[in-house]
Every structure is written in structure tokens, then in C-alpha cells.
Structure 1
Amino acid sequence: MAVRRVVPNLRSAASDDNRAFYGLLGFEEVMNHGWIMTLASPSAPGAQVSFMAADLTAPVTPDLSVEVDDVDAAYAAVLDSGAEIVHPLRDEEWGVRRFFVRDPDGHVVNVLGHR
């Protein structure tokens, strides 16, 4: 299994303010679903940050998103480890397959793959 990208998810209801502020640092909006907005660097597209008011389908807002090339393998590995699944593996309407897991320090990690 390979990691494709890692994106911090910052809780915020001020996406317009954050778009303007992080724009000063060279970030541009690459995704906006209303409840989550992702900004990326045009010169280094893997450099991203997301702002989320609340997750649309999960009971908690994740602290971090990790995109992997095989989300089903990641889910199986996490289940075998005994880690706490916070949000079960599912296909979301916006084109990702994902689950949430709690890391050893209590952070919620959104593990996803694009369909």
C-alpha cells in the first residue's frame, strides 16, 4: 500500500477568510463542497490544507486525511491492529471510499481513496 498525500484538516467556519489568508501564501482553492474546502499550492499540488466546518456524513471531524492507493487494504490492516474505527468504510457520494480511525494519541484520521 502506498500513501498518495497527507492533508491536515483544520476546523473552521471561516472558509472565505482562510481562502484569502492562505492565498497570501500562494494557495488556491482546488475543492469546495460547502462543508469542506481544500487549498493547494499551484507549484506543488501535493502541498494542501483543508478547512472543515463539520464532516457531512461522519460523527466527528477528522484531524488529518491520508489518501492511499488501496483503502480496502488499509482498512483490513487497521482492523487487524485493533485500532478504534470511528467511521466505517463506505463509499461517499463525492467519489471517495473512506473510513476514520483513531491514532494512538486520539487524533481522528480520515483514510481515503478516490474511486
Structure 2
Amino acid sequence: MRINRVVPSVSATELGPNRDFYQDFLGFEPAMDEPGFVMFRSPNNPTAQLIVVTEDCDWDAQSGRTAMSIEVEDVDAAHARALDRGYEIVYPITDEPWGVRRFFVRDPNGNVLNINMHIAHRD
């Protein structure tokens, strides 16, 4: 399986202190900024990213459930492999309205991972 990017998720009670820390202190910049959800990226290495999400995130209520996002080249093949191996799928494979196809799977340690790929927006 080809992995394109790994993005850790940080659970937060509020975004303000996290903006101060990740943006002002560490120098990340917001790549996506939605209610209860900010994806930060490095300005000199845009694939170095992290997500900060609050429990009350209303933009993507599922985001707070995951420990990290792993972008793969073929999410359907990854989903089939997870099913073949008997891994627990905790969120079904779904085309999200913001252009991502994804599913969530539980790893052997109980962490929930968002396995995804970008797709064209479908109308």
C-alpha cells in the first residue's frame, strides 16, 4: 500500500491556546480553519501537518474520533485489505462533501485511524 501522508490529530478543549502554540510558537500556518477544527501545515514543508479538533466540532463531527489520518493512494484497496484481515471498521467508507473518501479502522492498540484519499468533488 502506498502512503502519501500521515497527519496526527490532537484533541483539544478549545482552539485558541492551540493557535498560540502551533501557529505563533512553532510557526505552523492554518491550512484549513473550520469551527472546532484546524489543520496546521509547515510553511516550508506543506506535507508536514497536524489536526487540532475539539469535541464539539460541528464541521466534521467524526474528526475527534481519530488519532491520526493516513492518506493513501487507493482507499478502496486499503478498505478491502482491512476487511480481509478482520480489522474493526468503526466508520464506513464514505465520500465526504469536502472531497475526501475515507473510512476509520481500529488499530491493535485501540486507536482509531482515518484512512483516506482525496477525490474530485461529486455533484
Same fold (TM over 0.5): yes
**Structural mapping, 1:1-115, within 5 Å:** 1-23=1-23, 24-54=25-55, 56-58=60-62, 61-115=65-119
SS at match of 1:44: coil
Mapped partners of 2:106, 2:30: distance in 1: 28
1:5–1:66 CA contact under 8 A, matched in 2: yes
CA RMSD of aligned residues (A): 1.6
Cα displacement (A) at 1:33: 2.4
Mark the runs of 5 or more structure 2 residues left unpaired by the alignment: none
- The one-letter code sitting in structure 1 at the alignment partner of 2:39 is T
TM-score (norm 2): 0.86
Report Cα offsets for 1:5-56 as digits up to 9, x if no partner. Answer: 1011111132222112112111010012223211011111111110111463
| Structure 2 CA distance for partners of 1:51 and 1:73, relative to 1, 3 Å | same
Mark the runs of 5 or more structure 1 residues left unpaired by the alignment: none
| Structure 2 CA distance for partners of 1:6 and 1:59, relative to 1, 3 Å | closer
1:19–1:28 CA contact under 8 A, matched in 2: no
Mapped partners of 2:92, 2:107: distance in 1: 15
Mapped partners of 2:34, 2:85: distance in 1: 33
Report Cα offsets for 1:69-97 as digits up to 9, x if no partner. Answer: 11001100111010000000011111100
TM-score (norm 1): 0.91
Which consecutive segments of 4 or more residues in structure 1 shift more than 2 A?
A: 54-60
Count of residue pairs the alignment pairs up:
115
1:27–1:42 CA contact under 8 A, matched in 2: yes
| Structure 2 CA distance for partners of 1:113 and 1:105, relative to 1, 3 Å | same
Q: Which moved more, 1:93-102 or 1:17-26?
A: 17-26
Cα displacement (A) at 1:59: 9.1
Identity over the aligned pairs, expressed in percent?
45
| Structure 2 CA distance for partners of 1:74 and 1:63, relative to 1, 3 Å | same
